[in-house]
Amino acid sequence: MNTHLSSASPLTGLEGIPAAETALSRVDGQAGRLILCGAHLKDFTAAHTFESAAATFWGEAQARPAESAEAVRAELGHAREEAFTRLTPLLPAFEGLSTSEALRLGLAAMKGSGKSAPHLAVTGAVPVILAAALRLQEGKAPLAPDAGAGHVADFLRMLTGETPAPAREEALTTYLVTVMDHGMNASTFTARVIASTQAGIDWAALGAYAALTGPLHGGAPEPVLNMLDAIGTPERAESWIADALGKGERLMGFGHRIYKVRDPRADVLKAALEKLKPSGEKLALARAVEKAALAALKARKPGRPLETNVEFYTAMLLDGLAMPRSAFTPLFAMGRIVGWTAHAMEQQRIGRLIRPASLYTGREPGEAA
């Protein structure tokens, strides 16, 4: 008998079906909580630099005490140097590539590129590749890394050629730590499946990045900025939103597939944005749009909670840091690669191949079509 699954069947997307046991993160969509390595998101981001957060994830993944932040800082500095050496002869191939394509090519070239452990090699490579690609797009020569600098500060220096202001480094650090992990999303699941075959951690990260670039993955804040550009001024927020909803259009930056209340990442990034102090006009516009959107959504869809999500304030924060929109997805990967590599390490420690079954819906031999 031919049995067909509908697109709404949980089997077609494994929605809600546990696929792994992990100590790395827990997403509680009903309560609006995100737990990272045993700590609430707000507490985790407040307590960690990029290096100490990465050390915590990697230690948790291997069920052993975390390395010191100082040790990871030195290891990542060395990994950035190795990545730059490996990348230099590849730079002519970046011509004509998008920023995301350049990162994909660069990560693929890092395989077995030096003495750094694979999780350090790929984590160290991302800021080097991204900064080089963006500078080449502006007609500027890439800058070599400074192994003694912090990971985030060195990326900003390689990008601009200047030592970053502490507020810029802090804001970007908060963003990168906030997005390091978020449950069993599509890219993280991809990393675990690849790692479960005992393929390299670096290949698991590359596969995860490929999954991230798909339009259904999420974490793409560019449309939020397009919406804010279209609205223009705080005074137009209510009328523009009412008109958009009247046409059945989706408001970018609101609602989430998992969170039924406010996305906790939005509040962390909102606080980081306000500390960064972008232009008063942009912040006023963001506040007006958020207020008008939440009121309109509540009035039009009272039974469906639609709150501000991480993409709204990600867009504002990265724009406040003067990051080009083409860099938003690679920047997300710069933080999430810690989670991808940690999940891959955890999966390999477990040592179990991920090999799910499928439900056959085709015809039996001899059955009429």
Domain architecture of the chain: domains with CATH: 25-216+326-350 (1.10.580.10), 222-320 (1.10.230.10)
Q: Can you give the pLDDT at residue 300?
A: 87
Q: By C-alpha distance, which of 227, 342, 212, 359 is closest to 286?
A: 227
Catalytic residue among 256, 290, 307, 346: 256
How far is 274 from 171, CA to CA, in rounded Å? 10
Count of C-beta atoms within a 10 Å radius of residue 228:
21
Catalytic residue among 60, 82, 311, 346: 311
Residue 277, classified by CB atoms within 10 Å of its CB into exposed (0-12), middle (13-18) or buried (19+), is: exposed
Q: Can you give the pLDDT at residue 30?
A: 83
Q: By C-alpha distance, which of 239, 265, 271 is closest to 180?
A: 265
How far is 186 from 211, CA to CA, in rounded Å? 7
Buried b (16+ CB within 10 A) or exposed e, 310-319: bbbbbbbbbb
Q: Can you give the pLDDT at residue 307?
A: 85
Numbers of helices and strands, H then E, in the chain: 16, 3
Instruction: Determine whether 235 is an active site residue.
Output: no
At residue 117, what are phi and psi to the nearest 5 degrees?
-60, 150
pLDDT one-digit tens code per residue, 273-330: 988 877 678 888 989 999 999 999 999 888 777 888 888 999 999 999 999 999 999 9
Question: What's the token pair of residue 30?
Answer: 């009903």
How far is 228 from 130, CA to CA, in rounded Å? 26
Q: Can you give the pLDDT at residue 1?
A: 44
pLDDT one-digit tens code per residue, 243-283: 999 999 888 888 776 767 778 999 999 999 988 877 678 88
Q: Can you give the pLDDT at residue 11?
A: 62
Instruction: Determine whether 217 is an active site residue.
Output: no
Give the residues of the chain that fall short of pLDDT 70.
1-13, 112-113, 218-220, 257, 259, 279
Q: Can you give the pLDDT at residue 301?
A: 82
